[in-house]
Chains A and B, each alone.
Chain A
Amino acid sequence: MHIPDGFINAPVSIAAGAASLGALAASARRVSEELAERAAPLAGLVAAFVFAAQMLNFPVAAGTSGHLLGGVLAAVLVGPWTGAICIALVLFVQALVFADGGLSALGLNVVNMAVIGALGGYVVFRALRGALPRTRSGVVVASGVAAGISVVLAAIGFWVEYALGGTVGVDLGTVFGAMVGVHLLIGIGEGVITALTVGAVMSVRPDLVHGARDLVPSAAPARSGAPSGG
């Protein structure tokens, strides 16, 4: 899913860069509302975990692989705004240290995986939670399904970018079908990994799952936060 340099022309890449900067700035302003005191290491952990998971390509069809994108996973664990910044951080490290994902395509990749993947995926997660029972299983199922959908939405994001600024003329209809088809398969893997991971954290520390706050009474009261030491 990491777009290399050369696929998308300069104007569309620059526009995506501007859009991603705007979205990240808006997200950054909301981190302090979303992330509890003392929780900065938790957000760092989520980013590090997504980085690790993105190295684990799994086979989805003959000669094709996919890996976790992690947007919904991050958003459910630490909140959508913080989650979007986690994913953007992973993309920056990958592009700047590991030469994965083109430098000129960084904005495009942030749009697809952080903005659509984390922020958009979290909207899907909230909608699914509203339709499902208010239980821990409901959170896990909503996480998995939203994660799968978010991968297809990110793939469609790429298609829109290619339709606007693709450098090689191809039949857009077949590209759409191919992108959605293969990312439906990858989305199944994304959904399974996300559900397993959210389920694991829920079983150990449900109070640390942002998307399940309403189920954990001890996390709700505003007074519980103040540490004695400072």
Chain B
Amino acid sequence: MRTSRSTVGMFVIGGLLVALGLAVFASPYASSSPDGLERVAIDRGFAEAASDHALADSPLADYGVRGIDDPRLSTGLSGLVGVLITFGIGLVLFGLLRRSRELGRGGPSSRDGASASAPGASAPA
């Protein structure tokens, strides 16, 4: 079987390194211009309606690490933290959701197989 645990593991590790590389080393060079929605809000006159974010004083607000003055380092470090937090929560969350079916139904021999069956192939409506 090609899809052994280790080869999926290698793929995930490789992909995670790519994501970390992008978040840490590329993000400091991203455009800081307003995004599409911000641009429309500015041009059409509703940008002023935006209120300050309730968590604007949090240590990682606006993709920077408070206390680090170098803007590139600050952005890159916030990217590092963000990728790791997202991956970590995802690992736990999807692990639980994967298992919830077996816990919920408790049918016979629900231990294997269910994942490869048909329903996932259908498009959501």
Closest to A79 in B: B120
Known contacts A32-B114, A52-B79, A175-B40: does B63 contact A98 (CB below 8 Å)? yes
Which A residues are CB-close (under 8 A) to B45? 168, 170
Interface residue? A11 (CB, 8 A): no
What residues of chain A have their CB less than 8 Å away from a CB belonging to chain B?
1-7, 28, 30-49, 51-53, 55-61, 63-67, 79-82, 85-86, 89-90, 93-100, 102-103, 119, 122-123, 126, 155, 158, 162, 166-168, 170-171, 174-175, 178-179, 182-183, 185-186, 204-205, 207-208, 210, 213-214, 218-227, 230
What residues of chain B have their CB less than 8 Å away from a CB belonging to chain A?
1-5, 7-9, 11-12, 15-16, 18-20, 22-23, 26-27, 30-37, 39-41, 43-46, 48-56, 58, 60-63, 75, 78-79, 81-91, 93-95, 97-102, 111-117, 119-121, 123-125
Known contacts A28-B97, A80-B123: does B33 contact A57 (CB below 8 Å)? yes
Check B95–A40 contact: CB distance below 8 A: yes
* B15 partner, pick from A49, A178, A186, A223, beta carbons under 8 A: A49
Known contacts A5-B51, A7-B49, A36-B116: does B22 contact A53 (CB below 8 Å)? yes
User: For the complex, what is the distance from the CA of A207 to the CA of B3, rounded to whole Å?
Assistant: 8
Check B94–A82 contact: CB distance below 8 A: yes
Which B residues are CB-close (under 8 A) to A226? 112-113
User: For the complex, what is the distance from the CA of A143 to the CA of B48, rounded to whole Å?
Assistant: 36
Check A45–B97 contact: CB distance below 8 A: no
User: For the complex, what is the distance from the CA of A63 to the CA of B122, rounded to whole Å?
Assistant: 41
Check A30–B120 contact: CB distance below 8 A: yes
User: For the complex, what is the distance from the CA of A185 to the CA of B79, rounded to whole Å?
Assistant: 25
Check A32–B2 contact: CB distance below 8 A: no
Q: Which of A40, A47, A82, A186 has the most CB of B within 10 A?
A: A40
Check A64–B112 contact: CB distance below 8 A: no
